Structure 1
Amino acid sequence: MARIEHFNNPNAPKPNSIVVAVTVFVQDEQGRVLLIQRTDNGLWALPGGAQDFGEYIAETAVRETREETGVEVEVTGVVGIYTNPNHVVEYSDGEVRQQFSICFRGRYIGGDLTTSDESSAVRWVAQHEFADLAIHPSMRLRIDHGFAQEREPYIG
């Protein structure tokens, strides 16, 4: 399913759904961040996705990271909560989703980098390499907040 992200776009379609979703900021021993290249829009992003029925939200973070990257993580904290009503995602099936995403901090436990139906590439990325990657501004905000390691989570 194709996906178009509208960010601070006054001509964006009006949202018709809100879905609880997560992203996960996890670093390896060298301080590199785990990223995927999304198959639906080609952009680089933190792994993540929507919560399933019967799941604790931290379980969503662990499951989505495993499914999209092959990496096992343990949730250790919250980077931030992202609810900007000026960020909507338009899907080819007609859904227009207002953003509601919790970005978790995760600890790398193990696993081998593996692509999935949702990730055409998976890699650990050093902070100085981000300028060379196509990353949506809302995702870059989460990454920057993850690196900042503030005591309190971002709420916005």
Structure 2
Amino acid sequence: MARTEYYDDPQAPKANSIVPAVTVFVLDAQDRVLLIRRTDNGLWAIPGGAQDFGEYIAETAVRETKEESGIDVEITGIVGIYTDPRHVMAYSDGEVRQQFSICFRAYPVGGEPSTSSESSEVRWVRREDLSSLSVHPSMRLRIDHGYEHRQEPYIG
């Protein structure tokens, strides 16, 4: 399903749903962040997705990271909670979702980078190389916050 992201765009369609979701900021021992290239919009992002019925939200983070990247992770904390109503995602089925995402901090414990139906590329990226990739501003905010190692999670 195709997805178009809008951020602070007065022409964006009105949201008609909010879905609990996660993103996962994973750093390896070389201080590189785990990124996937999304198949629905072609942008680079940290792994993530919607919570399923019957699972804890931290389980969602572990599952989505494994599904999209092939990497097994252990959750260590929360980077932030991202609920900006100016950020909506329009899907080809007519759903227009307002952002609601908890960004978890994690470290890799196994697995090998591998693609999925949701990711066309998976790679570990050095912080200084991020500017060469096409990353949505909302996703870049989470990555920047992850690298800041804040004492308290971002709430916004």
Normalised to the residue count of structure 1, the TM-score between the two structures is: 0.99
What whole-Å deviation, never above 9, does each CA across 1:78-109 have from its counterpart, x for those lacking one? 00000000000000000000000000000210
Instruction: Tell me how many residue pairs correspond in the alignment.
Output: 156
Question: Any idea what SS the aligned residue of 1:42 has?
Answer: coil
Question: Which runs of 5 or more residues in structure 1 are unaligned?
Answer: none
2:100 matched to which residue of 1? 100
Residue 150 in 1 paired to residue 147 in 2?
Answer: no
In the alignment, which residue of structure 2 is the partner of 1:141?
141
CA distance in structure 2 between the partners assigned to 1:32 and 1:62 by the alignment: 18
Partner of 1:33: 33
Q: Which runs of 5+ in 2 are unaligned?
A: none
Corresponding residue SS for 1:55: coil
Question: Residues of 2 paired with 1:150 and 1:123: CA distance?
Answer: 25
Give % identity: 71
Residue 3 of structure 2 aligns with which residue?
3
How do 1:70-149 and structure 2 match up within 5 A? 70-149=70-149
Map residues 56-71 of structure 1 onto 2, 5 A cutoff. Answer: 56-71=56-71
Q: Distance in 1 between matches of 2:98 and 2:24?
A: 19
- Equivalent-residue separation in structure 2 for 1:38 and 1:107 (angstroms): 21
Over the aligned positions, Cα root-mean-square deviation in angstroms equals 0.4
Alpha-carbon distance between aligned partners in 2 of 1:131 and 1:144, rounded to the nearest angstrom: 12
Q: For residue 135 of structure 2, give the secondary structure of its aligned residue in structure 1.
A: coil
Give the match's secondary structure for 1:5: strand
- Within 5 Å, give how 1:35-54 maps onto structure 2: 35-54=35-54
